[in-house]
A and B are shown apart, each in its own frame.
Chain A
Amino acid sequence: MNLSLSLLSDQFLLNFSYLWLIVIATTIGIIIGAMPGFGSANTIIMLLPFTLAVDVEVAMIFMVSLFVASHMGGGITSILLNIPGNGGSAATCLDGYPMARKGLGQQALVLSFVASTVGGMVTALMSIFLLPYIARLAFYMHSVEMVVILLFGITLIASVASDNMLKGLIAGFLGLLIGAIGADHIYSTPRGTFGFIELYDGVPLIAVLIGVFAISEALIMMESSSVLSDTGKQMMRQSGWKETWEGVVWSFQRTWHMIWTGIIGLIIGIVPGAGASIAAFVAYQQSRLYSKTPEKYGTGIPEGVIAPESANNGCASGDLIPLLVIGVPGGTTAAVMLIVMTYHGVQLGPRLFIQNPGIGYGVFITMLIAYAVMLFTTLPLTRWVSKLVLIPTPVLAPIIIAFTLVGAFAPRGYMFDLWLTLLFGAIGYVCRRTGFNVVALLIGVILGPMLEANVMRALRISGNDPWVFFSSPVGNILWAALAVSLAIPSIVQWRRNRAAARTATA
């Protein structure tokens, strides 16, 4: 894997000559990213004849641009409408939407775009220069390590539930329960499917995502005439270029934050099978943990938008690493890319960097350029896109319901999924009205099945020896980090109380 500058500059030039294609692909990517139910994998399959008809470099540029843009687009509706475009942007709702409601929608969008760009670019650059080394990370991340990483994400249930711990935990538990529906991971015995063949592979995430977020949010919207508060409306009407600039300044005041949460995304992305939703939730949890003001998370603060957005774009770089280096795709989109590449006769895996290093490194060059292009195309748009929230809710809500229901049907083409989505819409509405946290529920649904699969796998490999979870050095380091992350908030609280007591007695 010798890296030569001439190779990199060749790739830069190649990508520049296809700039028009990158613009088209990123535009499509952002749009599908923002639409719940339409993923980049689906879109590439839809455009399969195109990708097979063109040169392999062109196909790769197109697919990579579309893929990274879909990660960036997911945040738009999370922020403006509280509706995540995909699992990776669900965590962005936590602070993005409160910002939008306060009339800071434009700044929040800028934060999300800049964080996505910085997270994506930094990790793409790291990938170029450290590829052989970071690829080794996958060799240390097995089921046991995944269990601990997933637990990091799951502890977020407790954080988002901090307003009302009991209700939050119940919601999280309900999520885990819903996530456990479907065939078990070893023997494929169906559980809780009520005989519905449509549930054999588990509850489809899109139905839950659209139901508990989009449908229930639309129902809530209909109860008031506007998404915004009165002051928010005032601010939004007046917002102009100044607010765009403000968002840029806020982002770069938190440059280090963008970088390290991006790196979390990269590392999680490298683990085969772990995706952007885990990356975003874990990054949000870590960001909150090391914050001086963890209690402000969830109220609409810039850090809460930056962490998940930077991480899910860092994850995009990470996802491609196992595909390129060992020839095993890290996620669905990567799997589809693998097919297109094989069809073109390109061997992914270690031989790629010997036979066709241009493609191997070109992927990351394309990412760098795609992000730069997106920043220039999206930043000016924030000013107008953010005005979406000014649309009166009696108009907005039915549009949301109609659009997202199409999105619920599209991935699998089952009518069943529509009913399921409506059912989850009702569950989400009841949860919101009664103060049960829907994000806690979603975390359970997303992370639960993965946790279960990894626990069962680790146990089966070890011959049902529970000590397997403490048998690996990397795993043990992660356990220690998890313990620290759980203890820190209590210690901080204890010290604050003590300090407060001292000042009181002084």
Chain B
Amino acid sequence: MTIMLDRRHVLMAGAGALAASLARPARAAGDFPDKPIQVLIPTGEGGGVDQAARAFNRIWSKYLGANFEYSYFPGASGQVGYEVFISKRPADAYNILFGNIGPEMIMYATQKVKYKYQEDFTYIGSMDIDDSVIWVGSSSKFKTIQELVEEGKKREITLSTSRLPHPSTIGALALAEATGMKVRMIPYGGGGPARSAAITGEVDGCATFLSSSLGLGDQARFLTVFNDTNRAPELTNNAPPVNQALGTKIPQMSGQRAIAIHTKAVEAYPDRVKKLTDSFKQVFADPEYKTVAEKAGTPWEFIQYGDAASCQESAKEFVELADRFRSLLTATK
């Protein structure tokens, strides 16, 4: 087992560990990577991205030939992490950011940030697709998405969400726009409290990513999935895709966990980027990855490789969606 420490933990472990990491033997210059890759995670330690990243990197390190060191900069829906990454980390391809394209591009589009997408950073590969869903607690009177929509035409439905800039929020708002139901999104500042609010009945339901709700078992009754197909029907009581159930034309609302690097690094070190992307792709063919990914809580059906072009396309789609629902996602009227 590789023992992975980030800077803070090195500090906590004491000067001894620090000295040990400095005394690492140097390999031939120009042999990328000749030192550990620094991973910046724009959410908290132990969160979904952290889990997925650690599982992925365990296999990736085999192909890349380097270890990973982690640091966490949560806050403001990922904004803090991205700003630290772009302003404080060297653009040398040794620094990568592990993020989630959907929520973070919506954040980028709706908040005032100090960096520019594509000028400052580029997504170079994605590793999974996690669909947005709407579910209700087991004691809820709603059995189907149609019932929820019908009720929503009579009164405003409340749905908990971890934060407003999130694909599932946009999904719910698009659903309301398409069907004429009324919906009010209640941000809880985190997935845990948002799920808890729906289970305990404080709100009518929860709009979130599928994978984070799978552990809830019978307490969650899935009503719909924001994709063309339900990729995990047996885990989600066969909830229908939203367009199929309601005849709407709502685009797919997914999160894609992906790695980003500085755009300057892409330009300055094409060979390093090639090494990163090639070895990144190799992970998906490794049977061991299936084991660790599932252990980390991501069903194998969700694991899907996406190249830089598909990441870029997805990022642009989310910026457009966020622009469309800007007034509902921000305090601007």
Residues of A within 8 A of B (CB): 38, 41-42, 45-46, 49, 52-53, 138-139, 141-143, 183-190, 197-198, 200-201, 272-273, 322, 326-329, 335-336, 339, 342-345, 347-351, 406, 409-413, 453, 457, 460-461, 463
Contacts and interface: CB of A to CB of B under 8 A. Distances in A.
Nearest to A143: B202
A403 to B, nearest CB: 12
Contact of A453 (B6, B45, B189, B330): B189
B25 interface: no
Nearest to B188: A457
A187 B80 contact: no
Contact of B79 (A197, A343, A413): A197
A190 B80 CA distance: 12
B216 A349 contact: yes
Contacts, number: 141
Contacts of B163: 188
Nearest to A328: B196
A329 B218 CA distance: 17
Contacts of A345: 295
Given A139-B201, A186-B331, A200-B80, 16 more contacts: A42-B9, A46-B12, A49-B1, A142-B200, A188-B165, A198-B80, A322-B196, A336-B46, A343-B296, A347-B217, A349-B219, A351-B217, A412-B73, A413-B11, A460-B186, A463-B156
A409 B11 contact: yes
B193 A272 contact: yes
Contacts of B189: 185, 453
Given A410-B11, A413-B7, A457-B186, A327 B217 contact: yes
B65 interface: no
Instruction: Count chain B CB atoms within 10 A of each CB in A53, A184, A350 and give the residue with the most.
Output: A350
B194 to A, nearest CB: 9
A190 to B, nearest CB: 7
A104 B50 CA distance: 46
Given A327-B216, A349-B215, A186 B187 contact: yes
A342 B199 contact: no
Name which of A45, A139, A272, A328 has the most chain B CB atoms within 10 A of its CB.
A328
Contact of B196 (A49, A272, A413, A461): A272
Nearest to B114: A197
Interface in B164-220: 164-165, 184, 186-189, 192-193, 195-197, 199-203, 215-219
Given A138-B200, A139-B200, A463-B184, A189 B79 contact: no
B295 to A, nearest CB: 5
Residue from B12, B71, B80, B196 whose CB has the most chain A CB atoms within 10 Å: B196
Interface residues of B, number: 59
Contacts of B77: 188
B308 interface: no
B33 interface: no
A200 B75 contact: yes
B20 interface: no
B192 A328 contact: yes
Contacts of A138: 196, 200
Given A53-B1, A347-B217, A461-B202, A339 B51 contact: yes
B5 interface: yes
Contacts of B9: 42, 45-46
A461 B158 contact: yes
Contact of A52 (B1, B73, B219): B1
Interface in B236-272: none
A339 B196 CA distance: 17
Nearest to A271: B196
B164 A142 contact: no
B216 A413 contact: no
A460 B216 CA distance: 26
A425 B11 CA distance: 23
B314 interface: no
A344 B73 CA distance: 26
A411 B9 CA distance: 9
A256 to B, nearest CB: 31
B233 to A, nearest CB: 19
A339 B71 CA distance: 18
B217 A349 contact: yes
Given A142-B202, A326-B196, A335-B192, A187 B216 contact: no
A409 B8 CA distance: 8
A328 B330 contact: no
Interface in B1-43: 1-9, 11-13
17 contacts: A41-B45, A45-B45, A142-B197, A183-B76, A186-B331, A188-B165, A197-B80, A272-B196, A326-B216, A342-B295, A347-B215, A350-B217, A350-B218, A351-B217, A406-B11, A409-B11, A457-B186
Contacts of A53: 1
B187 A201 contact: no
